[in-house]
Structure 1
């Protein structure tokens, strides 16, 4: 009887939990990075000066910007000749339930705290973007008067965990400026153009695409990555597999050439030449890539993960410092970090603990063509010949002299024969 009573108690407890559990909302799009990714570089996911959204709200080192948020809201109201933020508060109150569902992790804020957060964070972002267009310029602005703050703000606003739902920003922008969503997308992308990560010109998003944007990081990803509906079909019979590093490929006759006027993902292979756009590598490159990769890892697994695939390809090409030096020589990468070892370590660690769909790998056809080239012995022999005998005028002269001597020797032998 005692055992049955215990079972019954557990059963009641489970039933109560099931009754309270409403299921995971489909709208979830703002997550916390899982520990396997975070531990590789924790600082890449942590805001330096600005908390946006609930996950980092209240941290002591980020409190300085809370006063700036209030200052920006006040300047907004003065600019719009308003004395109260009531209409903005009411609009955020209507969006609270929908916005809460966007956060995958529990949010322990009261209703008033959550609305307060959406209003202050959203208005701050909009005013920040407008200041770059001279709409909300202020000569005494604390941020634009200090060069280092703009740099860290840009990084903080693209952090995977540091986001507001995009529809919150669109609603506030409509209330503040009264213009179409396309205008806000324009000024947002204008702000992120300063990221200088060689992603190329932003892709123009139509209204339906704008309505699907989840947050600012997603906007950056959608606008800079190729159209997901335009895909290179994987040729039949191709099995996914990595290629050799750049220095080994060069020994097999593969040449590297910088692609001009192209976005980061426009990588092609033709007639033994691998064409890759230039990437400038600087201090913000790693957190920039890591947060875009995290966004892809938590997204739809059937979509092409362009950033992840690009980093995998670069990881294949870079095994050690010799490969970094080779890619610098051919202007594939521009190293602003310092030593080649730093760049090598960055790419070698970027893809740790990542999952990709082999069949959807963006560069499967290219990898297959490169492997096919390297399997042909003739290509390796020709590459060795060029490297050892044709790499300088003197080496070529020596080779030709030896060849002529060999021909003369054979000729003399033939004529001397009885």
Structure 2
């Protein structure tokens, strides 16, 4: 008797089911392994659906996630023009660049959090074209003498601005190690001996970040160089630069009832532009709330969303997440923003935009009562507002001593009251 057939019949398993099981087993064996070095993610649909334009490139694709999309093909010709310029300056043959990428193909693919369904040749070509496009863009930005009047990107400000913002989309990333490696390979033999003298890929990248990006997401300038070697890609570089130099004392909060700027003002809190260039360094001490300077532009929300998404997906401590939550509570209305504008803490005349941006960003944040980064600041603010003396003092100052004339009027009224009281007492004594 066929034992295998008997077993099949005993468990209700047919030959067709065996074929299906073998097919499924084959699929399981071919699954893309989840590599530890994975750092480039596709944004979850739940995050993307509310603001798809904030995560999806409209002008240029960098890397495999959006490669080949019809609406992005117009930029491919410009990329190849940049590749041609790049190759004209180095004696290194294009085959050497291809071989350099080929040797690192497996490592490159493992940087992405999903299987890349591109053949080896197409993948290598894509990496070379996209990587050199970024290198050449930064190089031309760093050395204006390398530009021509016909430059397809830097010669058109509106196009350059769009490309700049899309370079920092989470789904538009290439690993920094391949960009750095290709740049160093090109330097080994050039047609002009001093062309790349004392220039590294870090040099031109940090120059671009300082000149074009730091205005949107303020960070201390020297942190770009300090964190460059540790960063996996451009978005990771931003996250690393936002990490606080000193850890905060964090404890569980009973509630997250953070007073707004106007409520704090009415309770007597003063506001000061923070001395630190660390955007997230909000401090409260002796009745003074220090908030580092920030400016909100049109691209701000898009940039913050991509950095937030990476912070969440790469399991970083939620520093930016908690900053957004904190700022959303503090700046809940245009009046809150107006007060910060008066104290030179924000640099934008349109005070309606600030609360809107933080309100929109807050919807993608997750609150942790047990590990909120500003728990100490919040507890101190809540305690300060509960003391009635602070509110009485603030009311007196804001309502009766807010101008020199008001102060003179109050003093005169007090003197008049005192004189009247003295006169009354004297009259009683005379009786």
The TM-score normalised by the length of structure 2 is 0.86
Shift of 1:14: 5.8
Shift of 1:22: 5.5
* Higher radius of gyration, 1 or 2: 2
Tell whether 2:329 aligns with 1:321. no
* Number of the residue aligned with 1:309: 322
Residues 69-120 of structure 1, C-alpha deviation per residue, up to 9 Å, x if partnerless?
A: 11111111111145x4100001111111111111113322111111111111
Check whether the contact 2:206–2:225 (CA below 8 A) recurs between aligned residues. no
* Number of the residue aligned with 1:176: 186
Alpha-carbon distance change, 141 to 11 in structure 1, aligned in 2, over 3 angstroms: closer
* Number of the residue aligned with 2:205: 188
Tell whether 2:394 aligns with 1:349. no
Tell whether 2:151 aligns with 1:141. yes
Shift of 1:122: 0.6
* Number of the residue aligned with 2:176: 166
Please give the alpha-carbon distance, in whole angstroms, between the structure 1 residues aligned to 2:198 and 2:249. Answer: 34
Check whether the contact 1:174–1:181 (CA below 8 A) recurs between aligned residues. no
Tell whether 2:93 aligns with 1:74. no
Alpha-carbon distance change, 104 to 364 in structure 1, aligned in 2, over 3 angstroms: same
Secondary structure, in 3 states, of the residue corresponding to 2:78? helix
Secondary structure, in 3 states, of the residue corresponding to 2:101? helix
* Number of the residue aligned with 2:165: 155
Residues 290-309 of structure 1, C-alpha deviation per residue, up to 9 Å, x if partnerless?
A: 111111111224x3x33222
Alpha-carbon distance change, 271 to 226 in structure 1, aligned in 2, over 3 angstroms: same
* Number of the residue aligned with 2:13: 5
Shift of 1:198: 5.4
One of 391, 400, 413 as aligned partner of 2:402: 391
One of 131, 136, 139 as aligned partner of 1:130: 139
Residues 270-328 of structure 1, C-alpha deviation per residue, up to 9 Å, x if partnerless?
A: 22111112212111111121111111111224x3x332222222101121222122222
* Number of the residue aligned with 2:123: 114
* Number of the residue aligned with 2:383: 372
The TM-score normalised by the length of structure 1 is 0.88
Secondary structure, in 3 states, of the residue corresponding to 2:142? coil
Tell whether 2:309 aligns with 1:299. no
Please give the alpha-carbon distance, in whole angstroms, between the structure 2 residues aligned to 1:200 and 1:23. Answer: 35
Check whether the contact 2:224–2:237 (CA below 8 A) recurs between aligned residues. no
Shift of 1:27: 1.9
Shift of 1:359: 4.5
Alpha-carbon distance change, 275 to 101 in structure 1, aligned in 2, over 3 angstroms: same
One of 97, 103, 106 as aligned partner of 2:112: 103
Residues 245-292 of structure 1, C-alpha deviation per residue, up to 9 Å, x if partnerless?
A: 111111111111223562322322222111112212111111121111
Number of aligned residues: 409
Check whether the contact 1:328–1:335 (CA below 8 A) recurs between aligned residues. yes
* Number of the residue aligned with 1:231: 247
Secondary structure, in 3 states, of the residue corresponding to 1:212? coil
Tell whether 2:348 aligns with 1:331. no
Please give the alpha-carbon distance, in whole angstroms, between the structure 1 residues aligned to 2:173 and 2:26. Answer: 33
Name the Cα RMSD after superposition.
2.9
Secondary structure, in 3 states, of the residue corresponding to 2:200? helix
Tell whether 2:267 aligns with 1:273. no
